[in-house]
Structures are given as C-alpha cells and as structure tokens.
C-alpha cells in the first residue's frame, strides 16, 4: 500500500495510539483519547472473544478503546466503568472492546482447514471508528461495520 502512496503504517504486535483534538481557537480545551491495540489472544469459539475485553482493560486500564484480532470474530462491546473526574466526582464512562473480523473467506469450495475442523463462520471485514470531540469534555466514539 505504501508503494501506492498510502500513509498506512506497519504497527507492532501491541501498542498505543493517542488521538488529540486541539481547538481551532484558544477558547476550547484539548480533548484526548487513548486506544490500545493487540494482535489478540484467547479463543472465541463459544464466547466469540467477548470475554477478552475485561482482560485487555485490566492490562491497559487507561484505554478508552481496545482493538484486537486473532480469533476472526467481529464484535463491538461497551464496558462501563467507574472513574473520578478532575473535581473528584464519580462518573460512569464507557470503554469499547473492538474485535476486527476476518478478511479471508475460509469456506469457498466446501473444503479446507476451516471446513474440516468445523470452524464456525465468522463475519468478514473490519470496523470503522469515528471520533468526535465533545464540548462537554472527552471524545465521542462510534463504530460501523466496514
């Protein structure tokens, strides 16, 4: 893709992406959002990997969004959590666990590894994430299937 001029970067097995939104004028506040990514681990045959969200948030508690692959399931699950704001008031905030789907159709022709192992079909394609800084604070996050 880079040969065609795409700004796509090859990332490591795990890491962070820090999104920063600065105001166009000096009146607003800067808004930030942290995303943690990992190649993925743990199975998904029955739970479709949804239970892994709690594990990832334990490993990366500052993340508002965790993205992983590995089990070929496409899910978007919110995980509510308690937090304390800058003036000491308790808030409930949403964090998101996003699993990208598979990019390979493994059932064409009725034969092959997935068919022989009775691997359950998985959603094809990824997930688009849309970010919008909020006037009230923080960053609004929305997801759609790609």
Q: The tokens of 27 are what?
A: 């009146």
Domain that holds residue 86: 2-145
C-alpha–C-alpha distance, residues 12 and 90, integer Å:
35
Higher pLDDT residue, 46 or 18? 18
What per-residue confidence (pLDDT) applies to 45?
A: 75
Q: How many domains, in total, are found in the chain?
A: 1
Higher pLDDT residue, 14 or 101? 14
Rounded to 10 degrees, the C-alpha dihedral 130/133/83/98 comes to 10
C-beta atoms surrounding 143 within 10 Å: 14
pTM of the full predicted structure?
A: 0.84
Highest mean pLDDT: which range of 21-25, 41-45, 47-51, 65-69: 65-69
pLDDT of 1 higher than 70: no
Q: The tokens of 112 are what?
A: 């092959």
- Residues 49-70, mean pLDDT to the nearest whole number: 92
Q: Do residues 123 and 104 lie in contact, with contact meaning Cβ atoms separated by under 8 Å? A: no
């Amino acid at each position: 893709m880079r040969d065609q001029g795409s700004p796509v970067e090859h990332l490591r097995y795990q890491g962070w992406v820090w999104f920063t939104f600065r105001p166009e004028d000096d009146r607003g506040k800067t808004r930030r959002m942290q995303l943690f990514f990992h190649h993925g681990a743990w199975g998904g045959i029955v739970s479709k990997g949804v239970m892994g969200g709690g594990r990832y948030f334990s490993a990366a508690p500052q993340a508002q969004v965790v993205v992983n692959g590995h089990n070929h399931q496409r899910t978007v699950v919110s995980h509510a959590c308690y937090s304390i704001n800058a003036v000491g008031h308790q808030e409930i905030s949403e964090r998101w666990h996003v699993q990208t789907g598979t990019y390979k159709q493994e059932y064409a022709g009725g034969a092959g590894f997935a068919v022989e192992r009775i691997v359950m079909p998985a959603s094809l394609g990824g997930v688009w994430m849309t970010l919008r800084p909020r006037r009230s604070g923080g960053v609004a996050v929305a997801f759609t299937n790609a």
